[in-house]
Every structure is written in structure tokens, then in C-alpha cells.
């Protein structure tokens, strides 16, 4: 049986998510210009800092106090207890305390706090905040998406050969995964105006939502990287799909987002599809 | 016989370059949010707009009136008359009206006006201005480099495995060039924290100068893309070399820049060296 949420409840969740983003942003900003203690997770390029962990702890505590029946999926919580995360119909806060940890470590400003809220397994609220640049992206299901209060809309480009794309190297150093990613990169580069890489999936989706670049493909992301950004892109008029062009599944660790379904349809045949497992 | 330039003359050139950057920036900003008329040059991804041409024309006219004996090398002038550009000992203004034209076309804010001044074939002044973000990078030989007036200094990372790099797909779609670039990308990605791509050589050099990312490699750039940025990076304490690790030659269409010579020395053996001809 699906969960019923009233409008005023959703509004309350949204306001809480924005407040959390500002609080998290303050902590990230304080740590950004200081020396960082860096540890690694799955590979030598999969980084985590004390700030990732401190921000997630703070956010989780606030959510569990305010909404004790809600579920929580956070990048660092999953990393610590090794559990895979299960998405249920219950209201679920999917949080990446710092999306773009490598950027954070290198003082590259594209570092974001990402918070998506699902109800009945569907993202209904998305908040991405880039504290160093004071950029707040927000969306509520069916109500558009906004950048610092201004309504967002995607690029009107429909042909891949006139598109700029975003693709990332990612943190895996597995040679087979890298080979497929580089083949994809060559194919997309050859067919388009060019490729950019900013190092944060959440920000990448927000850039497409803002009409900056037309499409984005990534294998290896997690639900916390994309939950918020995918709603922000959809509500700006964009399209989010699985990399095969099928319906997106936020637990499937792969995504393509674009300004239109035409761009997705032209991207899909250029890709070698990697099975990255599930969150 | 080498040319002698007095300090007050250099100061005058510097002030003119900064004024030109602001005037160019104003024109770029006015055009940035409007519909653009796009043409192509060497490939379907080598773009030029009316704004590139209008900005270069304005800049060239001001320089030729103010300094009639000085030489001028500008991206769009070279593209139109097909001449290769010859660097002499005379004071020479090397100008890219819009570095990052693809970004400009796609409303990606990393778009810069770049102006380097050489005397005796050596860059003595560098100015890179990013008008959409109001970011002014400047350098005078031997006097440090600055971002909006604040002194710049490079990252202190010395190990490639702890470095973030910048590499670009570029505009060539020649399969052999792309193969070498993607091999380089794989090798550098495997050996480092990751790779970013922002789409402007001038800005890339300024980012390394700012301590954001540790190194940058590119094949296929031109002297107008790098003349200003390489001085800004050197004056921030960084190192600029040919991709083989030899002395940089700004007409040789390839470059590596890094926060330290250690990073360059670790990058060089990972690269397949492309001969891109000369400007």
C-alpha cells in the first residue's frame, strides 16, 4: 500500500532540506580552505574526509529527530556499515554530504551537498547546494526547478552534433571499466561539440537543468549522487533515463540525463553498457 | 639585437592589456545570453562566432593605434588570412578574443579573453579575464600573478597519485589524434585522483596557478590559448614545459603546466607525444 503525504507535509520536508543544505554548506565552507585529512575507500581515487562524515552525521541526527519514521540513505553511513541500501515506499532522505569529494580535497569549488527525498520510491524533492559558489538548486515534483530562486529551463539543442556533453572518469581504476568508459568518451566526443568534466554528478545534472551543456552520461554513480539532481533536471524540462534509454532506476548505478529525449536517443547507441551492480 | 623596454613602458602595456580585457569582457558578456551565429573552421567542433571576430577587430584596432610598431597575433586574424604567425623580438600582442568558444556557444561560463605580450620572444605580461564570472588573472614577469588583485600560489602536492589533472578532448576529430589523447587520458587517470575538463586552455592554466588542480596537459592548443596563462602559472610558482619535459615553445601547439616540476616529470612518461605542427 502506497504512502500518502499531504501538501503541507511535503512543504515542511522541502523547507527542512533547504535548511539542512545551508547548515551542511556552512560546515563544508569552513573546512574548504583548510588542510584536509583524506582517507580512501574502494580505490586510491575514492576519497573520504572527516568533513563528509561530520556533515552526514549532523544531517542524519536532525532528520531522525524531526521525522523518526522516515528512512535515511547516506553515502558515508552505507560505506561504514557495508549494508546495501533498500529503497521502500516510506519517505526516504537520500543524502550525499559532499558530492565531489575529490574536488573538495583539491579546493576545486564544484562541491555540493545533495539531498533527494523519495515517497513511494519516487523522488519528490531535490536540493543541491554548492556552498563555495553559494548556488542553491531546488525542485519539487510537478512544480519546476530553481537556481537561487530563478526558474530553470534546459537548452533547446536537439542534435547531438551541436551538443556539449558532460562525462566523468570516475573513481574506479578497473581496466575493463576504464576501457568501456574511454570507448564511450571517444564515440560521444566524435559525435558532438565536446565533453566537459566537473567532478560532481549532482552539479552535472544541475548544469544540464540550467541549459549549460545538453547531456550527461555516467556509469558508477550511486543513488545519493543523483536522487536530487535528477528531479531538478526533470523539472527544468529535461529527461533522465537509464543509459540504455529505458526508465531510470536510481539504484542501478548508471544514468543519462539530457535536455531532450532526442539527445538521449542519439547518445544510447554510442555507449558500451556497463553493469555496475546495485546500491 | 634584442629589444629594450623600460619599466614604465611595460607598466603602460600592462594597463592597456587590462583595459582591453575589460572592454572585450563587456562585449562578450552582452553576447553571452543571446542567440549566437556559429560557424565552423578546421572541424565540425572548431567553432567561431561573430563575437570572436568583433572582439578581435576592436582589440587589434586599439593596439595598432596606440602602438603602431608593435606586432599582433590574433586567433581570428590568423584564421582569416591563413598566414602562419611569426614571433619576432618586437613587442607582440598575442590575443585570443574568446578562449573557450564552444563554452561561449553553450552558455558555459568558463569563457575568457586572453592577452599575452612578448618581448624578445618571451612572455612578459599575461592577462586572462573571465567576464561572466568577473575573474581577472594578471601577471608581470618577475612580479607574481594575481586573481582580482589577490596574490596566487600553486598547490603544494608533489605526487601525481595525489594530484587532480586537467585534460581536454579538444576540437580535432582525427582518429589517430583522438586515440593518442585517449591513451594519455587513461594513463593519467589511472595514475592520479582524477581528470577535469573545463574547455578553456587559458582558464586551465589559471586554475593550476590558483592551486585548483595540480597539472594540465594539452596537444593542439595555439600560442594565443596559452601565452598569457603560462606566465600567470609561472609567476604563481608553477612550471610550464613542452609535453616532453623540454623547454616550452609557445608556437609548438602542445603544453604541460603543473604546480611543480615533480608533477611534470611524473606526467611525461605517461604521454604519447603528438606532433601538432607549429603556429
Of B164, B171, B199, Cβ closest to residue A102: B164
| Interface subset of A 186-225, CB within 8 angstroms of B | 186, 189-190, 192-199, 207, 211-214
Largest CA distance in chain A: 51
Q: Which residues contact A75 (CB under 8 A, 6 or more apart)?
A: A52, A56, A95, A96, A97, A222, A224
What per-residue confidence (pLDDT) applies to B112? 98
Which residue numbers of B are catalytic?
75, 96, 98-99, 101, 225
Domains and CATH numbers, chain A: 7-151 (3.30.540.10), 160-270 (3.40.190.80)
Q: In this predicted structure, what is the pLDDT of residue B106?
A: 94
B193 to chain A, minimum CA–CA distance in Å?
5
| Helix, strand or coil, per DSSP, at residue A36 | coil
Please report residues of B whose CB lies closer than 8 A to that of A194: 45, 102, 169-171, 199
Q: From chain A, pick out residues whose CB is under 8 angstroms from the CB of B152.
A: none
3-state secondary structure of B134: coil
The tens digit of pLDDT for each residue in B132-141 reads 999 999 999 9
The reported pLDDT for the residue numbered A109 is: 97
Q: For B205-210, what is the mean pLDDT?
A: 98
Please list every residue in chain B whose beta carbon sits closer than 8 Å to the beta carbon of residue A161: 44
Say whether A193 and B108 touch across the interface (CB within 8 A).
no
Query: What is the spatial distance between Cα B52 and Cα A127, in angstroms, rounded to a whole number?
Result: 37
Which is more confident, B33 or A102? Answer: A102
At B83, is the pLDDT very low, low, confident or very high (cuts 50, 70, 90)? low
Q: Is the pLDDT of residue B81 over 90?
A: no
What pLDDT score does B186 carry?
A: 96
Contacting residues of A for B194, CB less than 8 Å apart: 45, 102, 169-171, 199
pLDDT by position in tens, chain A (length 279): 688 999 999 999 999 999 999 999 999 999 998 888 888 888 888 888 899 999 999 999 999 999 999 999 998 888 777 666 889 999 999 999 999 999 999 999 999 999 999 999 999 999 999 999 999 999 999 999 999 999 999 999 999 999 999 999 999 999 999 999 999 999 999 999 999 999 999 999 999 999 999 999 999 999 999 999 999 999 999 999 999 999 999 999 999 999 999 999 999 999 999 999 998
Instruction: State the count of interchain CB pairs (< 8 A) between A and B.
Output: 96
Burial class (CB in 10 A: 0-12, 13-18, 19+), B64: middle
Q: What is the pLDDT of residues B117-168, one digit of tens each?
A: 999 999 999 999 999 999 999 999 999 999 999 999 999 999 999 999 999 9
- Given CA atoms A171, A173, A178, A182 in this order, what sign does their dihedral have? positive
Q: Which of B235, B217, B221, B256 is nearest to B122 (CA)?
A: B235
Distance (Å) from the alpha carbon of B209 to chain A's nearest alpha carbon:
12
Average of pLDDT values for B273-279?
90
Nearest chain A residue (CA) to B46 = A193
SS3 category, A270? helix
- Candidates B183, B184, B196, B272, partner chain A, best to mutate (most A CBs within 10 A): B196
Identified catalytic residue from A52, A56, A76, A96: A96
Is A54 buried (19+), middle (13-18) or exposed (0-12) by CB count in 10 A? middle
Using CB atoms, pick whichever of A108, A173, A196 lies closest to residue B164: A108
Chain A residues closer than 8 Å to B214 by CB? 106
Q: Which is more confident, A47 or B203?
A: B203
> Percent of chain B scored above 90 by pLDDT?
86
Give the whole-angstrom CA distance, residue B99 versus residue B111. Answer: 6
Residue B126 · residue B231 · CB < 8 Å: yes
Give the closest-approach CA distance of B11 to chain A in angstroms: 32
Q: What is the pLDDT of residue B187?
A: 97
Alpha-carbon distance of A267 to A184, in angstroms, equals 9
Which chain B residues in 126-155 lie under 8 Å from chain A, judged by CB atoms? Answer: 155
Q: Which range, of A222-236, B27-41, B247-261, averages the lowest pLDDT?
A: B27-41
Q: Do B109 and A212 touch (CB under 8 A)?
A: yes
Q: Inter-chain contact B102–A194, Cβ cutoff 8 Å?
A: yes
Distance CA A17, CA A114 (A): 9
- d(C-alpha B206, C-alpha B204), whole Å: 5
For chain B, percent of residues with pLDDT exceeding 70: 99
Span A257-277, pLDDT tens digits = 999 999 999 999 999 999 999
- CA–CA distance, B245 with B261 (Å, rounded to integer): 9
pLDDT band at residue B110, thresholds of 50, 70 and 90?
very high
Interface-testing mutation among A41, A100, A165, A169, with chain B (most B C-beta atoms within 10 A): A169
Q: How far apart are CA A180 and CA A270, in angstroms?
A: 11
Stretch B258-262: mean pLDDT, rounded? 98
Q: State ipTM.
A: 0.95
pLDDT in tens, A121-143: 999 999 999 999 999 999 999 99
A176 is in an annotated binding site: no
Chain B positions touching A193 (Cβ under 8 A) are: 45, 47, 102, 105-106
| Beta carbons of B185 and A182 less than 8 Å apart | yes
End-to-end CA gap in chain A? 24
Q: Is B178 in CB contact (< 8 Å) with chain A?
A: yes
**Structural contact between residues A75 and A87, judged by C-beta atoms closer than 8 angstroms:** no
Please list every residue in chain A whose beta carbon sits closer than 8 Å to the beta carbon of residue B134. Answer: none
Which residue of chain B has the CA closest to A180?
B186
| CB-closest option in B102, B197, B214 to A197 | B197
In degrees, to the nearest 5, what angle opens at C-alpha A34 toward C-alphas A31 and A37?
80
A residues 218-277 near B, CB within 8 Å? Answer: none
Q: Give binding residues of B as ranges.
A: 75, 96, 98-99, 225
Q: What is the reported pLDDT for A38?
A: 86
- Would strands B122-130 and B112-119 be described as parallel, antiparallel, or unpaired? antiparallel
Sheet of strand A254-258, all strands in order from the earlier edge strand to the far edge: A194-196, A164-167, A215-219, A254-258, A239-241
Q: Is A98 a catalytic residue?
A: yes
Amino acid at each position: 500500500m502506497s504512502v500518502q503525504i499531504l501538501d503541507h507535509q511535503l512543504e515542511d520536508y522541502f523547507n527542512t532540506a533547504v535548511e539542512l543544505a545551508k547548515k551542511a554548506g556552512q560546515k563544508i565552507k569552513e573546512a574548504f580552505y583548510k588542510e584536509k585529512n583524506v582517507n580512501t575507500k574502494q580505490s586510491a581515487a575514492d576519497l573520504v574526509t572527516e568533513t563528509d562524515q561530520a556533515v552526514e552525521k549532523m544531517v542524519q541526527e536532525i532528520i531522525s529527530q524531526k521525522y523518526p519514521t522516515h528512512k535515511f540513505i547516506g553515502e558515508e553511513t552505507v560505506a561504514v556499515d557495508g549494508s546495501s541500501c533498500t529503497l521502500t515506499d516510506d519517505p526516504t532522505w537520500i543524502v550525499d554530504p559532499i558530492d565531489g569529494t575529490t574536488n573538495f580535497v583539491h579546493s576545486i569549488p564544484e562541491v555540493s551537498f545533495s539531498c533527494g527525498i523519495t515517497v513511494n520510491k519516487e523522488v519528490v524533492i531535490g536540493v543541491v547546494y554548492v556552498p563555495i559558489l553559494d548556488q542553491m538548486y531546488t525542485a519539487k515534483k510537478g512544480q519546476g526547478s530553481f537556481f537561487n530562486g530563478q526558474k530553470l529551463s534546459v537548452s533547446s539543442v536537439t542534435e547531438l552534433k551541436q551538443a556539449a556533453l558532460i562525462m566523468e572518469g570516475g573513481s574506479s581504476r578497473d581496466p575493463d571499466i576504464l576501457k568501456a568508459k574511454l570507448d564511450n568518451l571517444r564515440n560521444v566526443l566524435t559525435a558532438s561539440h565536446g565533453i566537459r568534466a566537473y567532478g560532481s554528478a549532482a552539479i552535472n545534472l544541475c548544469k544540464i537543468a540550467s541549459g549549460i551543456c545538453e547531456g550527461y552520461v555516467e556509469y558508477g554513480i550511486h543513488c545519493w549522487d543523483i536522487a536530487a539532481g535528477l528531479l531538478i533536471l526533470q523539472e527544468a524540462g529535461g529527461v533522465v533515463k537509464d543509459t540504455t534509454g529505458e526508465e531510470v532506476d536510481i539504484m542501478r548505478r548508471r544514468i543519462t540525463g539530457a535536455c531532450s529525449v532526442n539527445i538521449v536517443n542519439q547518445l544510447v547507441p554510442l555507449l558500451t553498457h556497463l553493469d555496475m551492480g546495485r546500491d
